[in-house]
Structure 1
């Protein structure tokens, strides 16, 4: 059972997320918070497996809450729910320790899958959100072409990560098992020093 904490300042949004999460037998909502301060307290009290975090909230916002949660609990898994006009908040949230980013208009099944992937240690990103993050990251840094020694297949996987594809999509494109892609992504992170999927995607584009 995956235990989920909902963090959003809109009650209707939280109610909708609760209904969606509890419509499936492997997820349970253990608590709700309407601002970042409540989220930090709830995290400490409830210890959820995944935090669904809104970014724009009154008082303590989602970025600050994410930083405080990850500082206190480095293993915390935080999945940010974002809107199309939240671009300026995405990279700070990533730097604060968020593991994944999903658009609020994502299909329900995509959100449920993202929660499961976040709980499993993956970093899910809506393709459009990932592209926005990568554009900002690339614009903020000088381009570099330095890559460590990679196998041909690792280079293929890295290029597709740079396109914003999920592990399942990469597996379908390359005609390999999803577990094989996960292994390649893990190896790429180890070899490049990238600690999440966004930094891998940035590396792919800058290389």
Structure 2
């Protein structure tokens, strides 16, 4: 049997933290390894408990979720931990900052339990979790702010088709939606996505979205 996905939950609201832990622990393929209420504690616990996924709130005392995510999953971290940010939509700017800090995805706190569980499994598998509609509103809203003033071009230029796929990723489209838009197969889309990530040295689709907006490749 495959070992269960080890999950650590960090949220400063005890009721929410307990609810998340109850939902997660009821799944045979998931295992709660710990919970805590501030960013400093989650960094310390992650170092001891070695979770596969950290479910992270954004606004917390001592150390906020963005700073904690950067310490757990940011650039240069020797053994990065996958972080799934779970927050309220009115904190969308904080969510964007968390994605830049290294989070593998995000969900809203009012998401149904099935979506939370799917999110944990998706992030644990190495994939990114981006809800298309929320992505459009979140990143699009801050596009002007995050795009560099000098309009820097990519260091390793993509082919016209790869640029087209990258723009659609930045619009929040899933692989199936990209395939339908470009009238190509989903397997072909997966190949393009893989090439884009490799050429640009990106970890996942989250970083691809951020890259596209930072380099003026999306509107």
TM-score if structure 1 supplies the norm length? 0.83
Q: Secondary structure at the residue paired with 1:123?
A: coil
Instruction: Map residues 79-118 of structure 1 onto 2, 5 A cutoff.
Output: 79-118=84-123
Question: Across the two proteins, how many residue pairs are aligned to each other?
Answer: 205
Alpha-carbon distance in structure 2 between the residues aligned to 1:175 and 1:189: 19
1:140 aligns with 2:146: yes
1:69 CA drift (Å): 2.1
- Stretches of structure 1 that go unaligned for 5 or more consecutive residues are none
1:112 CA drift (Å): 1.4
1:161 aligns with 2:169: yes
Q: Secondary structure at the residue paired with 2:118?
A: helix
The residue aligned with 1:77 is 82
RMSD: 2.7
The residue aligned with 1:59 is 62
Which piece of structure 1 moves more, 89-98 or 50-59? 89-98
Instruction: Map residues 1-207 of structure 1 onto 2, 5 A cutoff.
Output: 1-70=4-73, 73-131=78-136, 132-141=138-147, 142=149, 144=151, 146=153, 148-150=157-159, 152=161, 154-167=162-175, 169-170=177-178, 176-177=185-186, 180-202=188-210, 204=212, 206-207=216-217
CA distances 1:71-91 after superposition (whole Å, capped 9, x unpaired) = 655431011112111123123
Distance 1:21 1:180, change over 3 A: farther
Answer whether contact 1:3 1:28 (CA < 8 A) is retained.
Answer: yes
Distance 1:125 1:58, change over 3 A: same
Alpha-carbon distance in structure 2 between the residues aligned to 1:166 and 1:151: 19
Alpha-carbon distance in structure 1 between the residues aligned to 2:202 and 2:72: 21
1:168 CA drift (Å): 5.2
TM-score if structure 2 supplies the norm length? 0.79
Alpha-carbon distance in structure 2 between the residues aligned to 1:114 and 1:19: 16
Answer whether contact 2:158 2:196 (CA < 8 A) is retained.
Answer: no
1:146 CA drift (Å): 4.8
